[in-house]
Structure 1
Amino acid sequence: MTETLTATAAGRLFSRPAAVASCVAFVLIGMVQAVYGPAVPGLREEFGLSPSAAGLGLSLHFTGGVVGVLAFNSIHARISNSRLLSASYALMALGALGVAVAPNWPLALLAAFVGGLGFGGVDYGLNQLFAVGFGNRSTAMLNVLNAHFGIGAVLGPAVIAALGPENYPYAFGACALLSAVLMCCTRGIGTAEPAPASAAAPANGQRLLSRVLVGFLALYILNVAVEAGVGGWEPTHLETVGFTAAVAASATSVYWLMMTVGRFLVVPLTLRYTPELILTVCAAGMTACLLLALIPGAAPYAYAGVGLFIAPVFPTGLPWLNRALPHARRAGAWVISASMIGGVAAPPLLGKGIELSGIRAVPVLLTVLSAASLLATVWLKRATPTAPQD
């Protein structure tokens, strides 16, 4: 308990063991999200499902995630940070165990939703606390935290590949066990958030505050749309322009890997440059890479560049949001939930655009979204106070 109080008194919410446990938690939520896809053949065999019915598992997981973000945000002021995270881990453990042992598909879907509630609580809780809990190092620590999500997203499919899809219950069971262990690792988390840094009131009052929040919502939705769009349509585009299925699949894996690498690489930069400058460079970089993807021979390398540039956007934008809207406590929850909704809605909407314009237009459609993200970033940079640099 002394260590917890010391961390909080120093302006930090996390003791070192608690910070390490939080990174492990992001490995966990990355694994949980990533195992649903590779487990589909096993789920279909176990419950006699069609492909679309099997895909409902991940949909219910994301639905639970959105509800979890908003629900835990609504009660956060009435419970401690450690209790919020403990409850989230408990729901994840219950959900993962439920998917592993469910005797029928409706109960498995209910379990996926319950696990999603916990997923949303962990995603919201740790992102929000890391955004304010490490002082000037918060942006760097957020990138480290979210990089561990990528590690989990790589490990999840690897576990299913090693076990075989028919043994998916063991993968979900392992996730449940790790969730239960993490419930015991929340003692080093402070009980209150540090007071937000003072910021000048917007010149146009509440109206400008609302416009800034809308700007951040647009920024996150557009970036997640690009992220999910590349992940979902890169393989098809690469095969269409002449690459083999094996090369296309490998290139897509490299794209996701670059997202993890990019978050680690940006850490030292966050200690020298403002979040708004980093995000402006990232938006310009991924737009340029998507234009480069119009050249068939360069497309795999261009998509890898998109992964590198888009990697810092989600974690680096949260400290900027908290500084721009220090008194809007729900702002973080809204942008996190919006990002989840964007991840669900973007692939089918892009699919409709591709139906009208053809597969070769994938880079064009994604460039439009990325350019809109760049415009939103530039507008927010002008509309919010500039961060001081030490």
Structure 2
Amino acid sequence: MASLLRTHAALLFAGIATFALMGAGQSLYGPALPAFAREFGLSVAQAGWLISALWIGSALGVALMFFRGRHVTPRHALGVMVVGSAIIASGIGWWPTLAGSVIFGMGYGISTVVFNPRVLRAFGAKGPSMVSLLNAMFAVGAIAAPLAFVAIGSNPHLAFAAVAVIAGVIWLAAGTTGRDEEEAGRVASKPYRFRAGLLCFGVVCIGVEACLIGLGPTALITAGASEETAARALSGFFVAFLIARTALVFVAHLVPPFAIYAGAMVGAALCAIGAVLLPPVPFFMAMGAFAGLFFPGFFVTASRVMGDDPRVTPTIIAAGLVGGISSPVILGWLVEGMGERGFFQIIAGLTLATALVALALLRRVNAEAQG
């Protein structure tokens, strides 16, 4: 392991720093929206298009990687993030800011596709653990950025300027990644195998994660919690999320990846049932730990089953985007007219059904992933 760390140190550093920056950039949108709304004379709802633009850009970046992924390197991904965040920081107008958000989102999507498979392959048997480390660092950035935003006087232009500068520094470091790592991103030893059924597990898990983060606090308030309690519960959710992904760094290479996914879905289902029957706040926070295991378990499983063709990772990420974009809208519509625990009832039903299917297929999927 020590020799692998020395050989691929630049790749790992660039990946860790990039994922932390991605988490920071995404989490800045929440506290920055009111400031942008005031500056450009918009309602908060109108300013919310900045978030939509981020995800639209991310989808475009993933689509680009599907068709041109063989020719894209970490430096390309970071360069796009530099341009997008710099445009947002410039404050030259609403439409340029919106365009900057799309461009930053493209860098976000490209980075996800570039770093996850490279790190997974570069570190061999320890690859799943290193992928977990990357995604744990995303949570670190997401937790730290809002605090830094307040510390600099809640200035969104300064915050995104800092993102641009940090991305530029990482860009310099990413230039030292070895040629063998670049070739690893271009040469496939296993053919592209599309698995629609397996991808459905990604749609569900990312959809559940997006709903818990985006709609969970509102659901807690509906269930009787105060706004302050709901906000603290979301922070607790992210802390549990980070702890789980950090712990996974030390065990991911020892446990079959689909077993991690299935176990996480079982845990989430039990917590959701607890939130239906008992005070929901502690169970919501505990769900953060299981949500933190969803993506690493799914990504490693799908990567091993579907091959290492450059089109595989964009397909996997696209499945997650389908769930992340559509699920909050669908769930928000479904909970209308339900009782105060309607959100948790739906989450409980969805995660329980997914857990049962995953457990039924566990041996077969693990065998295919290992083969």
Please name the residue that 1:336 is paired with: 317
Please name the residue that 1:293 is paired with: 275
Q: Contact conserved, 2:271 with 2:283, CA < 8 A, in 1?
A: yes
Please name the residue that 2:121 is paired with: 132
Q: Contact conserved, 1:143 with 1:263, CA < 8 A, in 2?
A: yes
For the pair 1:374 / 2:355, whether they are aligned, the reply is yes
Q: Contact conserved, 1:131 with 1:318, CA < 8 A, in 2?
A: no
Q: Contact conserved, 2:91 with 2:157, CA < 8 A, in 1?
A: no
Scaled by the length of structure 2, what TM-score is found? 0.91
Q: Contact conserved, 1:13 with 1:129, CA < 8 A, in 2?
A: no
1:50-69 aligned within 5 A: 50-69=43-62
1:171-210 aligned within 5 A: 171-186=159-174, 187-189=176-178, 190-193=181-184, 210=194
> Given the superposition, is the C-alpha separation of residues 376 and 66 from structure 1 closer, same or farther in structure 2, using an over 3 Å criterion?
farther
Q: Contact conserved, 2:219 with 2:340, CA < 8 A, in 1?
A: yes
Kindly state the Cα deviation for residue 377 of structure 1 after the two structures are TM-superposed. Answer: 2.5
Letter in 2 for 1:172: F
Distance 1:247 1:180 in 2: 38
Q: Contact conserved, 2:73 with 2:182, CA < 8 A, in 1?
A: no
Which 5+ residue runs of structure 1 have no aligned equivalent?
Answer: 1-6
More helix per residue: 2
Report the secondary structure of 2:73's partner residue: helix
Q: Contact conserved, 2:127 with 2:253, CA < 8 A, in 1?
A: no
Which 5+ residue runs of structure 2 have no aligned equivalent?
Answer: none
Query: What CA deviation, in whole Å up to 9, does each residue of 1:53-112 have, x standing for no partner?
Result: 1000111111101110120232122x2xxx521111111111101011132111111111
* Count of residue pairs brought into register by the alignment: 365
User: CA-atom RMSD, angstroms?
Assistant: 2.5
Report the secondary structure of 1:49's partner residue: coil
Kindly state the Cα deviation for residue 344 of structure 1 after the two structures are TM-superposed. Answer: 2.3
For the pair 1:224 / 2:206, whether they are aligned, the reply is yes
> Given the superposition, is the C-alpha separation of residues 349 and 89 from structure 1 closer, same or farther in structure 2, using an over 3 Å criterion?
same
Kindly state the Cα deviation for residue 196 of structure 1 after the two structures are TM-superposed. Answer: 6.6
Q: Contact conserved, 1:218 with 1:376, CA < 8 A, in 2?
A: no
Kindly state the Cα deviation for residue 159 of structure 1 after the two structures are TM-superposed. Answer: 1.9
Scaled by the length of structure 1, what TM-score is found? 0.87
For the pair 1:264 / 2:243, whether they are aligned, the reply is no
For the pair 1:325 / 2:318, whether they are aligned, the reply is no
Distance 1:354 1:121 in 2: 34
1:1-390 aligned within 5 A: 15-77=8-70, 79=71, 84-165=73-154, 167-186=155-174, 187-189=176-178, 190-193=181-184, 210=194, 213-297=195-279, 299-326=280-307, 329-378=310-359, 380-384=361-365, 386=367
Q: Percent identity?
A: 25
Kindly state the Cα deviation for residue 182 of structure 1 after the two structures are TM-superposed. Answer: 1.2
Distance 2:197 2:350 in 1: 14
Report the secondary structure of 1:294's partner residue: helix
Query: What CA deviation, in whole Å up to 9, does each residue of 1:20-59 have, x standing for no partner?
Result: 2210110101111111111011101110011221000111
> Given the superposition, is the C-alpha separation of residues 327 and 135 from structure 1 closer, same or farther in structure 2, using an over 3 Å criterion?
closer
> Given the superposition, is the C-alpha separation of residues 356 and 244 from structure 1 closer, same or farther in structure 2, using an over 3 Å criterion?
closer
Distance 2:121 2:351 in 1: 28
Report the secondary structure of 2:177's partner residue: coil
